[in-house]
Structure 1
Amino acid sequence: MYVLTVDQIDSQNQADQVDAAIRDIESRFGAELLARPERTAGDEFQVATERGSVALDLALTLVRAGAWSVGLGVGDVRPPVGPSVRAMTGTAFVNAREAVSTAKKRPSRFSLVADDPQTAALDPLIRLLLALRERRTAEGWELFDLLDPHPDLTLTDAAGRLGISVQAASQRALTAGLRLDREARDVLGDLLTGGRIGG
């Protein structure tokens, strides 16, 4: 199982964003969650899922927002599972708590802690993907947000929607590392879920 403990950055000087973040996560990932995300204490909340690829997408989405330290814990969740995240226990929750404490000290604002050493070893690879994303320009993100939810959309289609040439769109995709981003997420999601590519 996969648990994210998420803590708002500089919450003493920022408006509380927890409720808005929970609503957004429920809207985008609701069907994939073990229970409704819940505020656990102050400016912190937790999310639980049984799919590694979903946990990775959640973590990447939250880190991109720039408002959160994200700890991903992988381990067991003791029954009963749900309906309340706050009532659930297990090593995944313990690991997520340790992970968010580490995430607060890192530039990436992310950390992964897992029972399994092979899964734990994915932490630097996820942070490498985050470093790639950190360098992406607003134009690169604009193209990402157009293409990523629509895998059948071509660069030609995207260029038309953005009002730029196909060559410009292709260069923007290359500079933004969009193909590498997709390939890395696919492999990391598989490894998180099953411990092997294609798992």
Structure 2
Amino acid sequence: MFVMTVDQRGSMRRGDAVPDLLASLNAEHGEDLLLPFERTAGDEVQALFATAATVVAVTVQLVRDGGWSAGIGIGAVQEPYPPSVRAGRGAAFVAARAAVESAKAAPYRIRVIGTEPAAERAETALWLLAGVLAKRSVHGWEAVGTMSDHQTQRDAADALGISAQAMSRRLAVAGWVEESRGTALSAYLLDQADVSEEQA
């Protein structure tokens, strides 16, 4: 199982961004969460995930937003699940706590902790993915987002009012292909690191 704990950085300077984050994450990913994001303490939020793909999708959103440290814990979770993530128990919750604390000094403020070697490999893949995303411009995010709503680059280019050639260049600079491969690799490695189902 996967638990993610997210901590806001610089809240004294930025103000409390947790309510907006909770609304955004639960609206975008709530159907794929076993227990939705809740504020657990101070500037922290936490959720229990059903799939590795959703863990990666949330990580991408956090990297884009900036200002967050993310700790991903992999391991067993006590069942039945409680009504609130704040009452959750198990190795994944313990690992997520350790991960978010150490994430504050990690590349791109992301840590993954689990018992399997694949956990470190998944962490490395997420760092590399974050490295691509951190360089993306506003126009790059716009181009990639538009592609998600259209079947072809030409259709996406028409929606943005630019040429197909310009769209292709924007996607290349934005690392669109690299993001696609990186998200798939990260999710695969997270799944490889999750042996909780085998142990159950």
The normalised TM-score by structure 2 is 0.91
- Counterparts of 1:85-164 in structure 2 under 5 Å? 85-148=85-148, 150=149, 152-164=150-162
Partner of residue 190, structure 1? 188
In the TM superposition, residue 164 of structure 1 has moved relative to its aligned partner by 0.9
**Residue of structure 2 in register with 1:16 after alignment:** 16
Q: Cα deviations across residues 88-129 of structure 1 (Å, max 9, x unaligned)?
A: 111111111111112111340111111212233221121011
The amino acid that maps onto 2:119 is: T
Percent of residue pairs bearing the same amino acid type: 37
Q: Kindly provide the amino acid, as one letter, of the partner of residue 175 in structure 2.
A: G
Bigger shift: residues 45-54 or 99-108: 99-108
Query: Match of 1:108, as an amino acid?
Result: Y
Runs of 4+ displaced beyond 2 Å: 193-196
Q: Which has the higher contact order (CA 8 A, sep 6+)?
A: 2
Distance 2:112 2:35 in 1: 21
- Count of aligned positions: 194
CA distance in 1 between partners of 2:140 and 2:89 (Å): 40
Cα deviation, 1:56-114, whole Å, max 9, x if unaligned, reads 11112112101211111111111121321011111111111111112111340111111
Whether the aligned pair in 2 keeps the contact of 1:73 and 1:112 (CA below 8 Å) is yes
Unaligned 5+ residue runs, structure 1?
none
Residue 38 of structure 1 corresponds to which residue in structure 2? 38
1:166 aligns with 2:175: no
Q: Which residue of 1 aligns with 2:67?
A: 67
Closer, same or farther in 2 for the Cα pair 1:187/1:106, shift >3 Å? Answer: closer
Whichever structure has more helix as a proportion of its residues is: 2
Q: Distance in 1 between matches of 2:135 and 2:3?
A: 27
For 1:145 and 1:82, the matched residues in 2 are separated by 35
TM-score (ref. length: structure 1)? 0.91
Per-residue CA deviation, residues 117-161 of structure 1 (Å, 9 max, x unaligned), is 22332211210110111111111111011113x3x5211011111
**Which consecutive unaligned segments of at least 5 residues does structure 2 have?**
195-200
Deviation at 1:10, TM superposition (A): 0.6
Measured on the aligned residues, the alpha-carbon RMSD in Å equals 1.6
Asked whether the 8 Å contact 1:63–1:110 carries over to 2, the reply is no
The one-letter amino acid paired with 2:184 is: D
